[in-house]
């Protein structure tokens, strides 16, 4: 039985993971292209005998899944499953698991870094000084401000704890949240009205999955509900936000700042107009790209594929 491993950074954890695969009798096929695989590359690499795929952001579409005749298990090197056609996988009885809890700390820490950049402009002011100008950008304090979290699973809760540590008020909108003791322990408020949260929050941060129901959750109407001084943070998935409406909000004073680690097209198309704005920050999907998170993602995704195939 063979396992195709697609993520580029997985190779750094060969010593940790390959013995687990070998002792389960699984033979490894590596992605040696140096980049995320296309549908055609996936189809050609996941041929006969490939029973499992450890997948990064590569598109496991219906077409790819239909071609992978021997595929029985997909293990996500990460959390978001939106690059996998879950319906097509279920139809063929292909099991799917993600590495839940592997990167929540790293993504939460990036969220806090975004928040500080948005209100204190540390990086931006450093760039100004290096360009030979001794100019300041007026900042804002976070203490006493309200953080509105949309989605409070593994990552959202870590963000909530850190925002409380910064003496912020934290409001959560998550219709499936059921951990009452977390709310009490951390003095966090669960709200059942998204519009009210958007209107009240100084910082709105997205920590929910991308699904057909959540696509463009932050649209023109949602942005209009937000404070003019508000900061929007997105470390989840680009398509949660209507980027056309975001451009409009950022250029007309609708909201103050947006920081995002994810984009509808990664990398964005050449000439993407949002990238010209000083109140817009985009990083290259780097939320989970820390030594600690990558190691956990490699280990958990390996353990998951072994369990699914050899259970």
Residues designated catalytic: 237, 266, 285
Residue carrying structure tokens 């107009």 = 273
Of 121, 200, 207, 296, the one binding ligand NAD (CB under 6 A) is 207
CA-based torsion, 259, 262, 267, 272: positive or negative: negative
List CB contacts of 33: < 8 A, sequence separation 6 or more: 41
Question: Interface with ligand NAD by CB under 6 A: which range of 62-70, 114-122, 126-134, 168-176?
Answer: 168-176
**Under rule CB under 6 A, residue 147 binds ligand NAD:** no
Backbone angles phi, psi at 309, to 5 degrees: -90, -30
**Under rule CB under 6 A, residue 237 binds ligand NAD:** yes
**Under rule CB under 6 A, residue 285 binds ligand NAD:** yes
- 40 three-state secondary structure: helix
**Under rule CB under 6 A, residue 162 binds ligand NAD:** no
How far does Cα 194 stand from its chain's mean position?
A: 20
Contacts to ligand NAD from residues 256-275, by CB under 6 A: 261-262
- # residues near ligand NAD by CB under 6 A: 31
**Under rule CB under 6 A, residue 10 binds ligand NAD:** no
Q: How far apart are CA 255 and CA 199, in angstroms?
A: 11
Site string for ligand NAD, 51-70 (x = CB under 6 A): --------------------
**Under rule CB under 6 A, residue 236 binds ligand NAD:** yes
Read off the DSSP letter of residue 36.
Answer: P
Question: Interface with ligand NAD by CB under 6 A: which range of 57-65, 88-96, 103-111, 132-140?
Answer: 103-111
Which residues on neighbouring strands pair with residue 27, listed in sequence order? 2
Of 36, 103, 111, 304, the one binding ligand NAD (CB under 6 A) is 103
**Under rule CB under 6 A, residue 154 binds ligand NAD:** yes
Please give the structure tokens belonging to residue 166. Answer: 């910064």
- In the complex with ligand NAD, which residue's Cβ is closer, 18 or 116? 116
Give residue number: closest CB to ligand NAD: 153
Please give the structure tokens belonging to residue 238. Answer: 């680009």
**Torsion angle, alpha carbons of 60, 63, 65, 66, to 10:** 180
CA 142 vs CA 107, 118, 168, 253: distances in Å? 19, 11, 7, 20
Cβ distance 88 to 106 under 8 Å? Answer: no
- In the complex with ligand NAD, which residue's Cβ is closer, 202 or 239? 239
CB of 27 to ligand NAD, least distance (A): 29
Site string for ligand NAD, 16-55 (x = CB under 6 A): ----------------------------------------
List CB contacts of 293: < 8 A, sequence separation 6 or more: 102, 103, 105, 106, 107
- In the complex with ligand NAD, which residue's Cβ is closer, 68 or 233? 233
Please give the structure tokens belonging to residue 247. Answer: 């451009």
Binding site for ligand NAD (CB under 6 A): 78-80, 103-104, 107, 150-156, 173-177, 207-210, 214, 235-237, 261-262, 285, 287-288
């Amino acid at each position: 039985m063979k396992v195709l491993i697609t993520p580029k950074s997985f190779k750094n954890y060969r010593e940790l993971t390959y013995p687990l695969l070998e002792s389960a009798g699984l033979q490894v096929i590596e992605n040696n292209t140096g980049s995320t695989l296309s549908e055609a590359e996936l189809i050609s690499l996941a041929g006969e005998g490939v029973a499992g795929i450890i997948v990064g952001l590569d598109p496991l579409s219906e077409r790819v899944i239909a071609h992978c005749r021997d595929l029985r298990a997909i293990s996500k090197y990460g959390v978001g499953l939106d690059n996998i056609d879950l319906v097509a996988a279920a139809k063929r009885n292909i099991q799917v698991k993600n590495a839940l809890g592997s990167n929540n700390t790293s993504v939460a820490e990036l969220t806090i870094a975004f928040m500080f950049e948005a209100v204190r402009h540390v990086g931006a002011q450093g760039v100004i000084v290096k360009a030979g100008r001794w100019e300041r950008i007026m900042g804002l304090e976070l203490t006493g401000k309200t953080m509105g979290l949309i989605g409070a699973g593994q990552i959202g809760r870590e963000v909530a704890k850190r925002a409380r540590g910064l003496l912020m008020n934290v409001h959560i909108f998550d219709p499936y949240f059921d951990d009452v003791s977390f709310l009490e322990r951390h003095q966090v408020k669960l709200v059942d009205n998204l519009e009210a949260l958007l209107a009240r929050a100084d910082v709105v941060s997205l920590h929910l999955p991308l699904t057909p129901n959540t696509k463009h959750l932050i649209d023109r109407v949602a942005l209009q509900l937000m404070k003019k001084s508000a900061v929007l943070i997105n470390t989840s998935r680009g398509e949660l936000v209507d980027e056309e409406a975001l451009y409009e909000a950022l250029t007309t004073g609708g909201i103050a700042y947006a920081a995002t680690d994810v984009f509808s097209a990664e990398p964005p198309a050449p000439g993407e107009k949002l990238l010209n704005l000083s109140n817009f920050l985009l990083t290259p999907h780097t939320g989970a790209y820390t030594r600690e998170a990558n190691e956990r993602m490699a280990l958990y995704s390996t353990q998951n594929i072994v369990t699914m195939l050899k259970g």
